[in-house]
A and B are shown apart, each in its own frame.
Chain A
């Protein structure tokens, strides 16, 4: 079980007739400093739904961009229908029979449904568009996909899910051989996704080869026939979905045996206990946002470190953003200090003593052109209001204090932040929020992409903050880290909070992985 299928020869896996419609061998793609794809083989048969799996940075998007002609390859071979091809642009790959539907619908919502399907290929007579014929054909095509739409209505009168399906209709009508669906379900709810799957199965039965990318493991198992796993730009293997248990799939994606993960875990560091009688700072009941995170219950106490665990796209960041008012909840209640509040904006969250250090420090956090001092002072100044500038002497005092406390290197407050290393940038970002003396600090992926030493320092800092009574909501993809720091762990899967675990002796990475892979353990 779970053994890679043979990639040699063109023998089709059972249940699929004929050779592959698309075959990629030894694909290599190099970006400055990174090998994005390293000798990857991939094949796609007519009449199958094939899932491409891998963590962030595994090379999935690069492979898709190679297929759609956005990137040219540095090595390897692509054959389509038996003859070698080389794509140099999206148009060319489309003409060769590879169509892509992206997560964000790439249609013109100001045009009608029929036009969106046919634009650029409208039936014409003497140069004049035959609207009637176009509408008739569009209606026929949609009926084939089991969609009942008014084809003359503009696309923006329909939901995103329907728009996605119109995009698929266009794609299969343009060229019906290979259809790439890149994260099509990420903004759909369960019933919409189900409708999409119905269409995918129908197209598969008609002989279309479908490449499907999704972060939702359940969906992969529901709809795909085979899957290919990538990790760090390398091919891990090609498997039949039905023969590969979810836990093994997750192992292959992450690249560590669960047993090994368990051994890595340093049990001694997990003995930290929550001080008894701590008051809850924040408690959420049924808080949720459609399309982002299913309603969840969560209580965070003073001095408590709450870890959020889950795969990328499982809703970790979405949950954190709701608690910071960056996105507005559309259901449920939130209490802070026992009082009902509604967080309309980050400003209102900040007034309640909530701080949020964002996942994406480069685009959402750090302003590279400003100095360390200016970056650190930013949030405090915003909280005070811009009409009351913080005196320079006070600024210097505060900044010096935090540069020392967090050991920011170089310890020069006037240096531009972009010249600092990733770890130090992260510390500057933390300092910015610590200076506002928050009662609840939300940190999203603080240790991603920084070196081991800086990582340890940031972990130490979180522990110290917690000892000082600050509550921390700690979001990290690294289970070891979550286990080491957290008092309790919230496990997310498919945009749903599936389990809450007190971090006690029995809990280890294996246990959390089980939940991530298979849903809540009953």
Chain B
């Protein structure tokens, strides 16, 4: 009988323990910093190449032109951080605009219509969240069903574009807020900015916000830590539904009309903006501020194409496509390093 001699082998693999405790710099800011850098480079490239690009109105108009996308992207950010996805937002916009225009046309008071459509959007989101949580349905499928449902309702109400002649809506649409001399903006942009700020606050400073991160990080652990996982999941879809409905309202204010084919593919733009803004599709990581940057990148590409004048609008999509690839690879590299 022999005792196995393991001395040389043990020496070879003396564990270098302290190395495992070395603090690594926080990698979660890298994607957002990359987006910020990209945005600044794009902006100053524009300033250097085009006349009038440096005027404040260019930046202010970015918010005006992308107010709807911004609001929707905020809701989407919450959903994606929990590890979910919401495909219904574009359809909810169309449902909201159609319903708003129809009801206003029928003479309903605007102060009834406004809360009503917001409530409907939230309820649809809540319903999808409940299905996702209670029946353990993939968010992709549940919100795809929501997409068909909302778009179907919109088409059922009216297939054509409905003009809005309501005085209140007209006022909101035409009201100009003067920020500085020669720099004016609209109600919709201000609303979008307020939504962004509120959402950022909620995500960073409230228990609900932190629960959103916990659920996205590890839902099983979150449950064992006693966090209200189900309530949080349902809440983010409700919030996303609310944001989409609010987006729809902003849309109807901007265009003073409602149309059932409005907002097609907008859910994909919102997801793209989130991803470019560093929100991890696997959940657990991301910031509202990042999604804001994502939307601004999106808007700035369009602005540059407009300034260039001779470029096809399709370039927006091509560039967004390339950027998405780039950022997804970046996220992969960063998360792999962190693990």
Spell out A's residues near B (CB within 8 Å). Answer: 90-91, 94, 102, 105-111, 115, 119-120, 122, 124, 127-129, 150, 153-154, 156-159, 161-162, 170, 189, 191-192, 285-288, 290, 294-297, 330-332, 490, 496-502, 506-507, 520-522
Given the known interface contacts A90-B224, A156-B339, the answer about A285 and B9 at a Cβ–Cβ threshold of 8 Å is yes
Residues of A contacting B214 in the complex (Cβ-Cβ under 8 angstroms): 108, 111, 115, 119
Contact B217 A108 (CB under 8 A): yes
Contact B218 A127 (CB under 8 A): no
* Other-chain residue from A120, A153, A158 in contact with B225 (beta carbon distance below 8 A): A120
State in angstroms the CA–CA spacing of A91 and B230 once bound together: 14
- A502 and chain B: residue at smallest CB distance: B1
State in angstroms the CA–CA spacing of A191 and B19 once bound together: 13
- A190 and chain B: residue at smallest CB distance: B15
Given the known interface contacts A110-B285, A111-B217, A120-B207, the answer about A297 and B4 at a Cβ–Cβ threshold of 8 Å is yes
State in angstroms the CA–CA spacing of A4 and B280 once bound together: 56
Contact A159 B226 (CB under 8 A): no
State in angstroms the CA–CA spacing of A150 and B21 once bound together: 11
Residues of B contacting A522 in the complex (Cβ-Cβ under 8 angstroms): 3
Interface core residue of B218, B223, B225, B284 (most chain A CB under 10 Å): B225
* Other-chain residue from B3, B23, B217 in contact with A109 (beta carbon distance below 8 A): B217
State in angstroms the CA–CA spacing of A4 and B213 once bound together: 49
Residues of A contacting B8 in the complex (Cβ-Cβ under 8 angstroms): 286
State in angstroms the CA–CA spacing of A108 and B232 once bound together: 15
- B218 and chain A: residue at smallest CB distance: A108
* Other-chain residue from B9, B207, B285 in contact with A332 (beta carbon distance below 8 A): B9
Given the known interface contacts A119-B225, A294-B10, the answer about A129 and B207 at a Cβ–Cβ threshold of 8 Å is yes
B26 is an interface residue with CB less than 8 A from chain A: yes
Contact A120 B226 (CB under 8 A): yes
State in angstroms the CA–CA spacing of A124 and B207 once bound together: 9
Contact B221 A497 (CB under 8 A): no
Given the known interface contacts A107-B225, A120-B226, A129-B210, the answer about A159 and B218 at a Cβ–Cβ threshold of 8 Å is no
Contact B15 A110 (CB under 8 A): no
- Within the complex, the shortest CB–CB distance from A135 to chain B, in Å, comes to 14
Residues of B contacting A501 in the complex (Cβ-Cβ under 8 angstroms): 1
What 3 A-B pairs have minimum CB-CB distances, sorted nearest first? A286-B9, A295-B9, A108-B217
Given the known interface contacts A128-B205, A501-B1, the answer about A295 and B10 at a Cβ–Cβ threshold of 8 Å is yes
Residues of A contacting B206 in the complex (Cβ-Cβ under 8 angstroms): 127-129
Beyond A295-B13, A332-B9, 16 extra complex contacts between A and B, CB < 8 Å: A94-B226, A110-B285, A111-B213, A119-B210, A120-B227, A156-B339, A159-B20, A159-B21, A285-B9, A286-B13, A295-B10, A332-B12, A497-B6, A498-B4, A520-B3, A521-B1
State in angstroms the CA–CA spacing of A129 and B206 once bound together: 6
State in angstroms the CA–CA spacing of A331 and B23 once bound together: 26
Residues of B contacting A91 in the complex (Cβ-Cβ under 8 angstroms): 226
State in angstroms the CA–CA spacing of A109 and B226 once bound together: 16
- B201 and chain A: residue at smallest CB distance: A128
B220 is an interface residue with CB less than 8 A from chain A: yes
Interface core residue of B21, B28, B226, B227 (most chain A CB under 10 Å): B226
Interface core residue of A157, A285, A297, A330 (most chain B CB under 10 Å): A157
- Within the complex, the shortest CB–CB distance from B168 to chain A, in Å, comes to 33
Give the tally of cross-chain contacts (CB within 8 A): 136
- Within the complex, the shortest CB–CB distance from B337 to chain A, in Å, comes to 11
Interface residues on B, range: 35 or more
Residues of B contacting A115 in the complex (Cβ-Cβ under 8 angstroms): 210, 214
Residues of B contacting A94 in the complex (Cβ-Cβ under 8 angstroms): 226
* Other-chain residue from A127, A129, A191, A500 in contact with B17 (beta carbon distance below 8 A): A191
Contact B4 A109 (CB under 8 A): no
Contact B20 A108 (CB under 8 A): no
Residues of A contacting B226 in the complex (Cβ-Cβ under 8 angstroms): 90-91, 94, 120
State in angstroms the CA–CA spacing of A105 and B13 once bound together: 26
26 A-B residue pairs with Cβ-Cβ distance under 8 Å, sorted by A, are A106-B224, A108-B213, A108-B217, A110-B284, A119-B214, A154-B28, A156-B338, A162-B21, A170-B225, A285-B9, A286-B6, A286-B8, A286-B12, A286-B13, A296-B6, A297-B6, A330-B13, A331-B9, A490-B4, A496-B6, A497-B6, A498-B3, A500-B1, A501-B1, A520-B3, A521-B1
Residues of A contacting B17 in the complex (Cβ-Cβ under 8 angstroms): 189, 191-192
Given the known interface contacts A124-B207, A154-B26, the answer about A107 and B221 at a Cβ–Cβ threshold of 8 Å is yes
- A153 and chain B: residue at smallest CB distance: B23
Residues of B contacting A507 in the complex (Cβ-Cβ under 8 angstroms): 1
Residues of B contacting A288 in the complex (Cβ-Cβ under 8 angstroms): 9, 13
B222 is an interface residue with CB less than 8 A from chain A: yes
Contact A290 B207 (CB under 8 A): no
State in angstroms the CA–CA spacing of A501 and B218 once bound together: 46
Given the known interface contacts A106-B221, A296-B4, A297-B9, the answer about A119 and B211 at a Cβ–Cβ threshold of 8 Å is yes
Given the known interface contacts A285-B9, A331-B13, the answer about A500 and B207 at a Cβ–Cβ threshold of 8 Å is no
Contact A122 B225 (CB under 8 A): no
- A287 and chain B: residue at smallest CB distance: B9
* Other-chain residue from A108, A150, A500 in contact with B4 (beta carbon distance below 8 A): A500
Residues of B contacting A490 in the complex (Cβ-Cβ under 8 angstroms): 4
State in angstroms the CA–CA spacing of A512 and B28 once bound together: 52
* Other-chain residue from A122, A154, A286 in contact with B210 (beta carbon distance below 8 A): A122
Contact B13 A153 (CB under 8 A): no
B5 is an interface residue with CB less than 8 A from chain A: yes
State in angstroms the CA–CA spacing of A192 and B13 once bound together: 16
B55 is an interface residue with CB less than 8 A from chain A: no
- Within the complex, the shortest CB–CB distance from A353 to chain B, in Å, comes to 25
Residues of A contacting B210 in the complex (Cβ-Cβ under 8 angstroms): 111, 115, 119, 122, 129
- A499 and chain B: residue at smallest CB distance: B3
Residues of B contacting A191 in the complex (Cβ-Cβ under 8 angstroms): 15, 17
Residues of A contacting B222 in the complex (Cβ-Cβ under 8 angstroms): 108
Residues of B contacting A296 in the complex (Cβ-Cβ under 8 angstroms): 4, 6, 9
B24 is an interface residue with CB less than 8 A from chain A: yes
B2 is an interface residue with CB less than 8 A from chain A: yes
Residues of B contacting A294 in the complex (Cβ-Cβ under 8 angstroms): 6, 10
B294 is an interface residue with CB less than 8 A from chain A: no
B216 is an interface residue with CB less than 8 A from chain A: yes
State in angstroms the CA–CA spacing of A153 and B226 once bound together: 22
Residues of A contacting B213 in the complex (Cβ-Cβ under 8 angstroms): 108, 110-111
State in angstroms the CA–CA spacing of A285 and B54 once bound together: 69
Residues of A contacting B216 in the complex (Cβ-Cβ under 8 angstroms): 110
Residues facing A in B96-152 (CB within 8 A) are none
- A94 and chain B: residue at smallest CB distance: B226
Residues of B contacting A502 in the complex (Cβ-Cβ under 8 angstroms): 1
